[in-house]
Amino acid sequence: MTKFKNLIEKLSKLNSSTTLPNSSAEHAAIVMSKMFDVTNQSIKMLVGCFDGTVSEKEGYKESLENSLQNKSIALEVLFMNPPKNNSIVYKMLRDFRNNRELKSTVEMKTISKEALDILNTEIDNSGKEFHYAVFDNNKYRFEENVETYEASFCFNDKEVANRLIDVFNAAYNKSIPLP
């Protein structure tokens, strides 16, 4: 795992435009943690339910929390499934959403049928559920297999990132705000 962490560190420092794969919950947490660390403005996340398989791995919560506390990040989270109420990350995001003193903003919604139709029409994943996150309009991680965490990611690809943002925004606008 140390080799993978070192590679991710190097790619982020280089602002690399190379697209690479990852294929485990551990790798997912490492990539997401680094993406949180190097993000300065916005994060858009299409997630399952924050069941903890990735979000409770070492570094994930801490990096997300640090970014939201110390920067002015606009975070939008779209849940494919109802969020797990016992999720540490979900609880943290709920607290941040309600904290008016925080520089960052946190908004969360759950997907509607209309929004799901938009996602499935705009992104061909053979009808299988997928997750993704886009950071600062140029970084992304796209998970095409939510069971094995097989994904591709890149620290500097505005074209793909903007395409994912457009699809996210269309679905997000048709989704249901979480109380």
**Residue among 43, 48, 64 at smallest CA distance from 138:** 43
Is 110 a domain residue?
A: yes
- Alpha carbon distance 24, 54 (integer Å): 9
Is 25 a domain residue?
A: no
Q: Give the rounded percent of residues in the chain with a pLDDT score beyond 90.
A: 93
- CATH code of the domain covering residue 119: 3.30.870.10
Residue 169: count other Cβ atoms within 10 Å of its Cβ: 14
- Please, which residues bridge with residue 69 across strands? none
- Please, which residues bridge with residue 141 across strands? 133, 153
Confidence (pTM): 0.96
- pLDDT given for residue 125 in this prediction: 87
- Alpha carbon distance 153, 34 (integer Å): 11
| Number of domains composing the chain | 1
Contact indicator for 134, 102 with CB cutoff of 8 Å: no
Task: Reply yes or no on whether the pLDDT at 58 is more than 80.
Answer: yes
- Alpha carbon distance 60, 89 (integer Å): 9
82-131 pLDDT, tens digit each? 999 999 999 999 999 998 888 899 999 999 999 999 999 999 888 899 99
Domain that holds residue 166: 41-177
Is 35 a domain residue?
A: no
Is 88 a domain residue?
A: yes
Alpha helices, DSSP H, located in 39-179: 60-70, 88-97, 113-122, 158-173
